Amino acid sequence: MTAFSVLDQGPRRAGVSSGELLGEAVRLARHVEELGFSRYWVAEHHAQAAVGISAPEIVIAHLAARTTRLRIGAGGMLLPNHAPLHVAEQFRTLEALHPGRIDLGIGRSSGTEHGPTAAALRRSSVAPEVFTGQLAQLLAFGGRDVLPAGHELASVRAVPDDAPLPGVFLLGGSRSSAVVAGRLGLGYAYLAAYQNPANAFQALRRYREEFVPAYEGARPWAILTLTVVVGRDDAHADALATPWRLALAQHAADNSSALLPVEEALAYRPTPAEEAALSAPPLNDLRAEVVGGPATVAAKLKSFVAESGADEVMVVANTYDPVDRRESYTRLAELAGLVGA
C-alpha cells in the first residue's frame, strides 16, 4: 500500500501573524496524525510572502512535542545555508529527544530567489560539487560514513554522539540528484514533479537502479511530492487551488504577496507580468497538479504511483483557509483508505 505524507510550506494568509501560522501547523499535524498519514515535513523558505516557515529545525521540535506517532522532518534543511556539523548536531539532538520519529531531508537550494537574502544566508556555493562535499561531511558527522584519511575535519565528532543521525533523504528535482541519492544509499524525495512529471517518473526509476545499500537490509525509498487538493467536486477543488496558483504567479512577477481569500482570488485581474507567468512554464502545465473531487484525484494518483513506482506520496495542499486544508486531507485519507479515515 502506498504511504501518504504531508509537506507543510507554511502558506500565509494576509493579516495572519507568524504565531497563528505555527498554531495552524500544530492543528494540521495532529489532524493528519489521526487520519493515518505517515510523516509531516516542514520546508525552509526565505523572503517569500506566501510561505512562512524559515527555521524548520525549530518547528520540527515544536511539532514532535505535540504529536505522538507521526514522523516529523525537514523537507528540507538547505545545506548551503547551514554548517554540516551544526545540522548533524541539531538532528542528532532531535533524534535523542524523539527517538525513531525524526527525518532529515537535505536540499541544495538557498530557499529564496531574493539576491540579498541569499547572500545573507549562504555560507557556500550551491554548485553540485560543493554540495557533494557538504553532504559527505554531514554523513560523517552523523556517523553514517567517514571522511577520507587525512581530511582536515576527519577528527570532528558531533554531539550528542550516542544518538544516531535520523533517516536521511536527499531532496531533488532531476535525474542527477536521483543518482547521488541512490549511490549513497539514502532515501529520495522528488520535489519538483509539478514542473515535469515525466522527468519525475524517470528520476524515481533511476534512483532504484542506482541504489546501493548503505547497511545490511537497507532498501530504496522513493517519495513523489505532488500538489493535491481534494474538494467536494472538481469545481470546488479548482476554486480552492486558485489562491495558491495566483500567489505563485505574483511571486514569479516580483509581486509576492500572501494568499488571498478564494472569492478575491477568483475575481482578481492579473497584471500583464502575472498573466505572462500564468501562461508560461511551469505554471501553465497542470499535468502534475492533482486537483479535483475524490474520483478525479483517486484516478490521477493511481496513475502517478503506477508510472513512478513511488513508495510514498507527499502532499502539498496550500489552500487559503486552514479548515479547507484539513478537509482536503480528510477527503484524501478517505479515498486512499488510510487507517484513521
Question: What is the DSSP secondary-structure string of 111-164?
Answer: S---HHHHHHH-SS---HHHHHHHHHHHHHHTTSS-PPTT-TTTT---SSTTS-
Considering the chain, what percentage of its residues have pLDDT values greater than 70? 99
Q: Identify the DSSP state of 261.
A: P
Find the range with the poorest average confidence among 13-22, 109-118, 240-249: 109-118
Amino acid letter for position 318: N
pLDDT of 36 reads 97
- Is 278 a member of any domain? no
* C-beta of residue 193 within 8 angstroms of C-beta of residue 282: no
Tens digits of per-residue pLDDT, 130-169?
Answer: 999 999 999 999 999 999 988 999 999 999 999 999 999 9
Grid cell in block for residue 300: 490521477
pLDDT category of residue 194 using cuts at 50, 70 and 90: low
- Residue type for position 104: L
Q: Which whole-number Å values give the CA distances from 141 to 41, 101, 191, in the listed order? A: 23, 20, 26
Q: What range does the domain containing 148 cover?
A: 3-235+290-336
At residue 92 the predicted structure's pLDDT band, cuts being 50, 70 and 90, is very high
- 276 is a domain residue: no
Bridge partners, 78 (sequence order): 107
Give domain status of residue 270, yes or no. no
pLDDT at 329: 98
Is residue 138 assigned to a domain?
yes
pTM equals: 0.95
Query: Exposed e or buried b for every residue in 21-39, given b needs 16+ CB within 10 A?
Result: bbebbeebbbbbbbbbbbb
Q: 81 in a domain, yes or no?
A: yes
In a domain, 279, yes or no: no
Find all residues with CB under 8 Å of 55, minimum gap 6, and list them.
44
The DSSP code for 51 is B
Give, as one character, the DSSP assignment of residue 3: E
- For the segment 240-262, the average pLDDT, to the nearest whole number, is 92
In this structure, how many other beta carbons lie within 10 angstroms of the beta carbon of residue 128? Answer: 13
Confidence category of residue 72, pLDDT binned at 50, 70, 90: very high
The structural domain count of the chain equals 1
Q: How many helices and strands in the chain, by DSSP H and E?
A: 12, 9
Query: For residue 57, what are the contacts with CB-CB under 8 A and spacing of at least 6?
Result: 74, 77, 90, 91, 94
CB 57 within 8 A of CB 77: yes
Contact 167, 199 (CB under 8 A): no
Burial (CB < 10 A; 0-12, 13-18, 19+), residue 284, is exposed
Identify whether 183 is part of a domain. yes
- In which residue are the cell numbers 506566501 written? 50
Q: Does some domain include residue 231?
A: yes
What angle do helix axes 128-141 and 84-97 make, rounded to 10 degrees? 40
Q: How far, in Å, CA of 95 to CA of 61, rounded?
A: 10
Q: CATH code at 203?
A: 3.20.20.30
